[in-house]
A and B are shown apart, each in its own frame.
Chain A
């Protein structure tokens, strides 16, 4: 198979506003071997099969030496980059204070708080004719929520914002660059943020609050406890993933609704469509576009043998628009049924925070809808964030 430059073109910043024609090219190519040695997959059914395939590893240590661009100290690897059984154990422990079976009502109980935070942010917009959806709304909402949930002081946001940016940059998928600098900065940020979170947690040992860090350090069952390193890695993952993704979901949502005014009007008339609209946004403009995996054996994907140990990049957002899976995939349709999108991935690594992201996006967009009816986009396309993996506007200025 010919070596392709698709990954280079997809990760090129100029492609950020509209990567979808490249995704169509990828789907047509089937499995595309890249200049750097990796392989790209963009067809829905191929991606789903790979996400459920036990021969596919999420652990970067399984990448063969010539392709291993980024190395991470073992103790900093969080469960998103681990395989079973370590992944299962750590994800299960992280789930204890967050969801079923140990904390089934936890997120539902936060609906009121999330609605209140949303209301306060909207009140703060009163009297302004121009706002930046990202800075004024889509970013502060999930940050405030994840801070409350984890037990991180909201006023520390300027401190962890820089760490978070370095960690996201570190985790991004790029083509043909020297990773030394972002690896250094990312590694340092991981260490510092981890230490910061462990310190916060340690202060609650013995006198817990109603937050997840408290729950982690005060776990009564010895089998349910995280080590200090595990607590650091898990805390970093939850804090970073807890806001860096949802900001894109909300901002992409506002952008998409302002580009589809008929649907915006319809949602305002039929608020019952809102949960479905959020699912459609997760398909149509998802926050997470790329995930990387590594085959542990030579595997067959769509007639191509992908060798053991090479980087395998799954373009989830390309699968989301695969006409072999979705009827009329380029159409944004909030009333779409049969919408099993890849916005949260699939398989054992299916997004841990998905239920929280859903509540946040439904609440945020629902509260914004009445404001958006008369609003206009100041800049279309808006300026995008740097990354290709977590894709969304850096700023989204609108006139109210």
Chain B
């Protein structure tokens, strides 16, 4: 009954981009019931992309990136409150402080957090930081402004590379340590990772690939790190940029299909339980979601992208207040961007879902290019470097499963595609110390195996 769905109690756990956009969309769609948004950070929803860019450069204050509201979501904001558990039978969210929060429908948008350094004592050294929240960014910006002699960045994914870029722009010496063969290789594969490596070195980054940091050193205060090649590096600040951890632990006892790779849902953002049975009152959106995508063999995708958080939140919210036949699937093609070392990098599709890549427009020498990725003869992704205005064309090719390699005729004074496809060389993410921000995670909702031990 559509009338009923616009009433009742909706709780959103997660007060960042996905949570805010979902709250707005619910009201937009005519939801008149009570709406509660729970967030563990004390801040109202804010934008994270500037935290690794303008904030570190000191152009924007860390706490000045509040997200503009599209409309007043007329919600009860429970900020600074952590959700600790879920009782799906009693339909209640358990909170770290206070009474459980009852709901009729629930949206989970708890996102991710920075993967911490595994050794707790070393991680606690003064000067060892992560970057995920605005408080983190404020802390790191302050350290950079103090003029450290050297910064060590562990992990050369997008966040690590952007931090290194900001350091160089500020004139700070920086070392980047990456276990994989090159920066960004986990997200973009071999060809473009070579471009990224050259770029970092050209900007004066001390880039060390194929090494691991074995220990962080210091006596209360961080002073340096040991590397697996036997060398020791002195630095004043260490940023752990080893990817993200999905905030699903609080769902461990909920019976939902929650695990380290995210919370599995169907195409309409409805959460699966641990047996792969779909629920109809629990929805998920944003970085914490794992959702099936028809363009990528219906494998479950886990994305850490701004655009996905918005699009998925809108679909989830729409479906929460719409009866079955008028529900929508979340089919958006993944898109993300990064700016580093003066370059604008944009990606559409899933570059890691590829076996070959070719440069279809521009060239590495020009520092402007479009790389197109193919998998078994069809186009699955494209990455532009300073050529973002062409991206839409390639998105169309991905959406229509167009053949790879694309036909000749690029309007950039090259009558024929000059490059030949080469292997895309996407490494096993287990060999990297940065996490890809897009991951295909197979077809199955997470299974739980129970070991029953007879008592006594």
Chain A contact residues, CB within 8 Å of chain B: 48-49, 52-59, 83-86, 88, 295-297, 347-348, 350
Contacts and interface: CB of A to CB of B under 8 A. Distances in A.
A52 B392 contact: yes
Given A55-B410, A297-B407, 18 more contacts: A49-B396, A52-B389, A52-B393, A53-B393, A54-B360, A54-B370, A54-B409, A54-B412, A55-B409, A55-B411, A83-B413, A84-B361, A84-B413, A85-B368, A86-B413, A296-B409, A296-B411, A350-B389
A350 B388 CA distance: 13
A293 to B, nearest CB: 9
A48 B407 CA distance: 19
A49 B411 contact: no
Contacts of A296: 409-411, 415
B390 interface: yes
Contact of B390 (A48, A85, A348, A350): A348
Interface in B404-425: 407-413, 415
- Of A54, A56, A86, A295, chain B has the most CB atoms within 10 Å of the CB of A54
A86 B368 CA distance: 13
Nearest to A296: B409
A84 B412 contact: yes
A59 B409 CA distance: 13
B99 interface: no
B366 interface: yes
Contacts of A84: 361-362, 411-413
Nearest to A54: B410
Interface string B350-379: 000000000011100010101000000000
A52 B389 CA distance: 7
B392 A83 contact: no
A53 B368 CA distance: 17
A309 to B, nearest CB: 11
Main SS of chain A's interface residues? loop
A85 B367 CA distance: 12
Contacts of B389: 52, 347-348, 350
Contacts of B411: 54-59, 83-84, 296
16 contacts: A49-B393, A52-B392, A52-B393, A52-B396, A53-B393, A54-B410, A54-B411, A54-B412, A55-B410, A84-B362, A84-B412, A85-B362, A86-B413, A297-B407, A297-B409, A348-B389
Contacts of B368: 85, 88
A55 B413 contact: no
- Of A48, A86, A297, A350, chain B has the most CB atoms within 10 Å of the CB of A297
Interface of B: 360-362, 366, 368, 370, 389-390, 392-393, 396, 407-413, 415
A298 to B, nearest CB: 9
Nearest to A293: B411
B446 to A, nearest CB: 38
Contacts of B413: 83-86
Contact of B361 (A54, A57, A58): A54
A180 to B, nearest CB: 29
Contacts of A49: 393, 396
A178 B298 CA distance: 57
- Of A52, A295, A296, chain B has the most CB atoms within 10 Å of the CB of A52
A149 to B, nearest CB: 24
A296 B392 CA distance: 19
A209 B350 CA distance: 50
B276 to A, nearest CB: 37
Nearest to B396: A49
B408 A297 contact: yes
A55 B407 contact: yes
A54 B410 CA distance: 5
A133 to B, nearest CB: 35
A85 B408 contact: no
Contacts of B408: 297
Contacts of B412: 54, 83-85
Contacts of A348: 389-390
A159 to B, nearest CB: 36
- Of A58, A85, A296, A347, chain B has the most CB atoms within 10 Å of the CB of A85
Contacts of A48: 392
Nearest to A295: B409
B393 A54 contact: yes
A253 B8 CA distance: 46
Contacts of A55: 407, 409-411
Contacts of A295: 409
